[in-house]
Structure 1
Amino acid sequence: MTTHIGLGRRGEEAAAAYLSRLGWTILDRNWRSRDGELDIVAHDGREHIVCEVKTRSSARFGDPLDAITPAKAARLRRLAWQWAAARGVGGTSVRVDVLGLVADGDGFSVDHLREVC
């Protein structure tokens, strides 16, 4: 389990670095409400984006993006609205993206799926 948690943390660090390279501003990491957690909330200069990060050690058991079910997408949307309300940005658009990371040597390959919900 410790290895799994470490992989997830390294994946979130890599995802935040990827978003920063895109020029996005990281606003929150691991934001929690009683209904769940948002991995990363960022701003790309135009809108707020909730980023769900899915990290895998390999693609042997499928693409990490496959973990986003309709129920998971709906929960992410609800959490995005909660984050916006808590931060006072309820009148603005909040998009939900998913970053699928697969370990690739010492780093990660990143698959960025935009506007999943």
Structure 2
Amino acid sequence: MDDGGMPWATARAVGDRGEDLVCTYLEGLGWAVLDRNWRCPDGELDVVARDGEQLVFCEVKTRRSTRFGEPVEAVGRDKAHRLRRLAWAWLEAHGQRGAAFRIDVVGLLSPPDGPPRLTHLQAVA
């Protein structure tokens, strides 16, 4: 993540904090967080959770400002297709091939001088 020249370590810390807040939010909805930052050769899934009987693969986008748009706007068609491929890889790796799932995007705007604002888009891909 790059927020206009933000040093990598700072950007990583912002992203990690955002993922922590999103996991707390999802657990508050009654969801079970199953996996975080799952990696395979094709990429990384930020959060894998269970919403009732459905698996949800959440892409988390955290930004400190809207300088480059709203955080959720960072997930376009190509990224959504990539997330779907990563979801299939996770299912395969966890012996759950064919399980029902959806892809959500959770954007977190976390300005340094104000409270965070969360936007949750369900079933984007």
Gaps of 5+ in 2: 1-7
**Structure 2 counterpart of 1:61:** 68
Counterparts of 1:3 and 1:50 in 2: how far apart (Å)?
Answer: 25
Whole-angstrom distance in 1 between the partners of 2:94 and 2:74: 28
Give the match's secondary structure for 1:11.
Answer: helix
Structure 1 unaligned residues grouped into runs of 5+: none
CA apart distance, 1:61: 2.5
Match of 2:119 in 1: 111
Query: In the alignment, what sits opposite 1:82?
Result: 89
**Deviation by residue 1:37-94 (Cα, 9 ceiling, x = unmatched):** 0000000112000000000002233101111111100000000001011111112111
Q: TM-score, normalised by structure 2?
A: 0.89
What is the aligned residue count?
A: 117
Structure 2 counterpart of 1:38? 45
Instruction: Provide the secondary structure at the position in 2 that maps to 1:89.
Output: coil
Q: Which amino acid aligns with 1:102?
A: L
SS at match of 2:116: strand
Deviates more, 1:57-66 or 1:20-29: 57-66
TM-score (norm 1): 0.95
Which region of structure 1 is more displaced relative to structure 2, 99-108 or 77-86? 99-108
Over the aligned positions, Cα root-mean-square deviation in angstroms equals 1.2
Q: Are the equivalent residues in 2 in contact too, given 1:73–1:116 (CA < 8 A)? A: yes
- What SS does the corresponding residue of 1:111 show, helix, strand or coil? strand
Higher strand share: 1
